[in-house]
């Protein structure tokens, strides 16, 4: 079963502002690896912290995602460089 990837409006806007090569790398990774995974939690790690504990992070360009099991979707929240996402 494939996971559906949805982008929050802010994440879609951030994706459009990234370098096209990097944006493509992120979308290919989400489509080919994360969407196809049996459990996308195995590819990432939980974000630490009280307020961010329900989110998961992926790769060097941080993809912060909320995994919604009941609707089988991954909601991508902010995208960006690691140093910028957590501010």
pLDDT tens sequence across 41-85: 888 888 776 665 577 777 666 777 887 776 556 667 655 565 665
E strand or H helix at 13: helix 9-17
Question: pLDDT class for 2, splitting at 50, 70, 90?
Answer: confident
Asked if residue 63 lies in contact with residue 30, where contact means CB atoms within 8 angstroms, the answer is: yes
List, in order of start, the domains of the chain with CATH numbers: 4-78 (3.30.2310.20)
Predicted pLDDT of residue 82: 58
Question: Residue 57's closest CA among 77, 37, 33?
Answer: 77
What local confidence, expressed as pLDDT, does residue 33 receive?
A: 86
pLDDT attached to residue 44: 84
């Amino acid at each position: 079963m494939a996971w559906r990837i949805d982008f929050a409006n802010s994440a879609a806007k951030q994706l459009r502002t990234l370098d096209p090569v990097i944006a493509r790398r992120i979308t290919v990774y989400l489509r080919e690896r994360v969407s196809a995974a049996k459990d996308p939690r195995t590819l990432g790690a939980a974000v630490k912290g009280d307020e961010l504990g329900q989110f998961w992070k992926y790769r060097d360009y941080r993809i912060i995602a909320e995994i919604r099991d009941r609707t089988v979707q991954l909601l991508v929240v902010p995208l960006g460089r690691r140093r910028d996402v957590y501010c």
